[in-house]
Chain A
Amino acid sequence: MMTLHKKLKHHYKNLLIALALVFVTVLSGLAFMAADDSLMCLAIINLLLIVHGILNQGSISGLLKFFSVQLVLTLVLYWLIHGEAKLLDGALVVFRIMLAVIPGWWLTLVCEPQRIGEVLAWIMPHKWAFVVSASISLLPFMGREVKEIYQIQIMRGARITPKHLRNPKNWSELIYCVLLPTLIQLLKLSQQMATSATNRHFSQRTKPVYWRNP
């Protein structure tokens, strides 16, 4: 039998995860809703999350690359549509997206997806909680897959190195060589994961027992 101490510790951890979920949701929401002059406060909180994430063996290189690409694309579009005067607005939009994404990145580092699923099952059906937690656990895997597919295609001669991508003519190659196979992988994987879950009795009980490391 599990000791009372272990049970309490487990409930305490789940409570912390629930609080983290609420915190992350509010923080991400505020990134879009807060006034411009409040963004600095949000940025400081996000900076603390980044530091905590790095201490939990997280890597920000993916985040930095994502935002660099996002910034370049957004600024180019703003420049083309609105002209030079609105470039600062474009940068602000990217900054808000960054503030919205960082809390989610931090959450995936500090909480195991199955624990998030367990907590979400308090407020939603187990099936839906599983879908959310499975999607979260898929993110790091897909991140690694995208990186490997990108590297493989560069080796095959695709014009998608950062140098090549300075030329907008090569952007379609990135979609064709990296995004398309990634989407194919994602579709296949989600289908096969669903099959794998069904084969392992998923959804046979309305109230499953959740795994915990001893």
Chain B
Amino acid sequence: MLIELHNVDIGYDDNYLLRNVNLQIETGHCHCISGATGCGKSSLLQLLAGTFEHSYQGQVKVKPNCIVGLVCQDPNVQIIRQTIGAEVAFALENLAVPLVEMQQQVRHSLQLVGLDLALNTPISHLSLGQKYRLMIAAQLVCHPSVLLLDEPWAQLDDQGVTELLGLLSGLLQRNIAVVIVEHNYQAFSSLITHAWHIDQAQLFCGDYLVKQSKGVARQRPCYQDSAAIYIETAAFELGFESSILFACQQPLTLQAGQVIAVVGSNGCGKTSLLKLLAGFDPQVKKLSVQVLQKLPELGVYGANLGFLTQRPSRQLFETTVLKELQFSLSRFDLPLSYASNILIELDLVALSELSPHKLSYGQQHLIALACLACINPKVLLLDDPFAGLDDYYSNKVIKLIERLVQQGCGVIFSSHRDDDMNLADTVWRIEQGLLTVESQSFTSANDWDHGYDDIA
């Protein structure tokens, strides 16, 4: 037995996050814990890692000399150094591993996670998904007995997940235990030996919810007046002064009522493109782009453009969720009632009086999205909007986007996999340094069927 939780409670009085949790982690086992957004999955993982900062009742037994490696949902919070070699080497430095051996182990760990880059590559040049792989390498180099992964599927592209599956399979064969917290447990079903789900603060054996199919043909009424062009570019090359991220050999447009998915693997340049369109300083060369008939510039669009960044929790500063939503509404002279309406629409009313800082990663993500959607912008740019969301809330977000699109909003969202593409009319696919445009086929219908089943 490597780790054992016995009758563990987190919380107090009637406000328990987790109640009476019993869990045993043994060598070579792969546990997967699923559950709704904000149900306490990450807290449970922190408890297993010994990094849970709040009080709890019950027993947590860890075998002596058991090394536990944890990769957080947001890998940025674990990064200590500035280059990838130094980051992975940190644990080995502390163990006083001889330098030559250290360099070999660092290279080997980076190869295992498919991060085949120069050792002096600055971490700031990596995408979020690449940083996630880096942190897995930084844990693997410690030779952990238990590896804990918080939502790897959300952060990694398909190739990354495939590589991770091979890697985890090898670790399990070497009797290393793996615990994965994941909404999409099916991605790891070939490895899972113990499936768990959290429901109403209790840990139950078995799967959480049957994953909803997003592959249903889309049927929704189109926005009638789709002539207005919101974004227009000529053919371009996006990149830094010294290197190109990708080239686009044809003009791109976003029309009113159109949904575009930007799809590509980790690090292909999706975020840089969205930042450029939003008028952020993305550290890439400026392009000839017209967004709402203007060159992209920060702050010139007012309520007409919203941009959901990755790690949107950074923007939260108010004392309650409701006030956070009302901030933009008050600044743009819009009715404050829009805030309550969107909380109802996204089924987040229960959070309205809570501090946004105490919410889970997924909940903070939803609140940040709600802050943008409630101002009803003409153009909505969403960088990985489904990260950290369970199927229930993913469907809520999809319905929200559909509603905005029907009102004439043009939406561009990024994703590192094809699963979410049914939402889009058009796909901007970035592959091997080239952006190509694919039209999606979908059925127009007068009787709107959003095509996504509600979760019972």
The complex places the Cα of A140 from the Cα of B315 at a distance, in Å, of 19
The complex places the Cα of A149 from the Cα of B188 at a distance, in Å, of 35
A residues 112-159 with Cβ under 8 Å of B? 112-114, 134, 137, 140-141, 144-145, 147-149, 151-159
Measured between C-beta atoms, what is the minimum distance from A114 to chain B in Å?
5
Q: Flag if A204 contacts B331 (CB, 8 Å).
A: no
Query: Closest residue to B307 on the A side, CB-wise?
Result: A155
Interface size bucket, B side? 35 or more
Measured between C-beta atoms, what is the minimum distance from B90 to chain A in Å?
5
CB-CB under 8 A from A184, the residues of chain B are 317, 357
B residues 73-129 with Cβ under 8 Å of A? 76-83, 85-86, 89-100, 102-103, 106, 119-120, 124
CB-CB under 8 A from B95, the residues of chain A are 201, 204-205, 208
Measured between C-beta atoms, what is the minimum distance from B147 to chain A in Å?
12
Q: Flag if B102 contacts A211 (CB, 8 Å).
A: yes
Looking at the complex, which of B9-17, B252-260, B298-306 is the stretch in contact with chain A? B298-306
CB-CB under 8 A from A153, the residues of chain B are 315
Q: Flag if A192 contacts B77 (CB, 8 Å).
A: yes
Q: Which of B49, B103, B312 contacts A214 (CB 8 A)?
A: B103
Interface size bucket, A side? 35 or more
The answer to the question of B138 belonging to the interface, with a C-beta cut-off of 8 Å to chain A, is yes
Instruction: Known contacts A176-B317, A209-B93, A209-B99; decide if A152 and B85 are in contact (CB<8 Å).
Output: no
The secondary structure that dominates the A interface is helix
CB-CB under 8 A from B120, the residues of chain A are 213
Q: Flag if A157 contacts B49 (CB, 8 Å).
A: no
CB-CB under 8 A from A154, the residues of chain B are 298-299
CB-CB under 8 A from A56, the residues of chain B are none
Q: Name which of A191, A193, A199, A205 has the most chain B CB atoms within 10 A of its CB.
A: A199
15 contacts between A and B (CB under 8 A): A112-B82, A114-B81, A137-B81, A145-B314, A152-B312, A153-B315, A155-B278, A157-B332, A185-B314, A196-B78, A200-B139, A201-B95, A204-B94, A209-B96, A211-B90
A interface with B by C-beta (< 8 Å): 1-2, 112-114, 134, 137, 140-141, 144-145, 147-149, 151-159, 161, 176-177, 180-181, 184-185, 188-189, 191-193, 195-197, 199-205, 207-214
